[in-house]
Structure 1
């Protein structure tokens, strides 16, 4: 029988998030039930609930940066026990048998696409999936992560389930490490994790930003320096010197100034998805340096677990601002203005008061 669960939901693209009761399934044989302690706030949440991306299904309960305590497990579950701390990221299912799924890259599922933690098809109850702005969730064991950080750090762990893996995956895939010079474009929720992770991997890290006032924060996070991207002279000093650039900016912009900074065979990987196309990059810059522009999504479940373990080993969490769920609309407005350092996280204890 479905279990009634407290949540915050948007009923349409023009109505604010508000208290709402949703149904969660009873745990099946392979399911893990989790009482949610903290849920990070991703820009994707805002885009979805406000209908800025096509295909939002209402009522919409966003949230895919989830950390909580296991409250029940199915009879066939082997990796989790009641009382464990667990995480759930951006996906809760995939076809499980296509080439990408077989290779542990479920985020690129070629048959059905991955099942999003919210706004995806719910294969058990029907309708669509409902995310982490709630006090309880039930997820197949294969899409649940082990969280080994200290309990005092759990709120700051939550954004790792999206911002952490979104930056870790390309840094790992393009083999970032000691002896490499790496650039991070943008210093927001994604960018600040990119700096921390690339530095922990041993790279020499630089931040590109239009805001010179972020220099000290960039250094605090692990960067060698900040380069003001609209300062042509500052950019020219670094021409042809970067092995890899991770571009986290989700607004349309000119990619050419960053391509010029890459060494021969260097790559710039895009993880921000703008709402309009970037200016068409110069083919000449790419051809005459064998340079590449690439893209990257999140990571598979195995790689996400690897990222969590890496972050625990290196003492990494997100820089967060904790909010009550009743403050979510204000948080969204501040997020639009980039007025957060660097990720909002909801304390789900506040949901009881709602």
Structure 2
């Protein structure tokens, strides 16, 4: 089956609100993507100040019950943050058995002990199905375009856990490019140790939860969400719009020539541009030093690692003045 992808998002003015006890629930409209999807990844923007928190759930068309996707609370000392423990949910991906023709999302707003209520800004989800492409995409153009994305290395924090911090390090680089990442140390540098605590998922026991990384980024940037792309031609359109992407890759040992991570089941890097030949210019946080973070990868090798490793998953983080490219990746274009 050809690859099908669709991203949709809603604001609090969409859907409907209900109250039950001391909590408020918001339910999105039903979404029917036009194909039977096999996986869903949600992302959201919410203010959970003062100890408030939200619960995110999903329901398939024709089902009576809901599937718990996540509990979310921002902050490095959050106590109400965990991925869902539903048997159909794998950390950040909901896979309905046999697929589903439609879905809706629900956000339950839990107030803090002092009565402060969380505020939902936006919530969306990407659904997909079908096989990824196996042939290398041709470049959109034959000229170099590389964005000026600051370089950060997770490995400079290896002694305190940094070997597993590729996702928060990549997000930090993109936020720094957008000009929305404040320095987190007295010397004006980025404390990746602190950033890692902002996205840590105790159920997953790591910092690689896709939804949590964009939820944290959304507290600093105007927009942040998870989606999937068909190929590197889609990624080129984002770079042309001035928006770097955080891409999830996975590849066997030796399959991505020049990578500091020789083989991995899952790793996050920043796509910051393309050479005139169409090869991919990245900031790879797995490099041993910040000086060596910039890496250029063969287009075919990178595309296979990205599409085969995660189905083309990316984090999109951007300001209001950075307009998203139009394309088949999204019906709503966030």
Higher relative contact order (CA 8 A, sep 6+): 2
**Structure in which a larger fraction of residues adopt strand:** 2
Would you tell me which structure has more helix in proportion to its own residues? 1
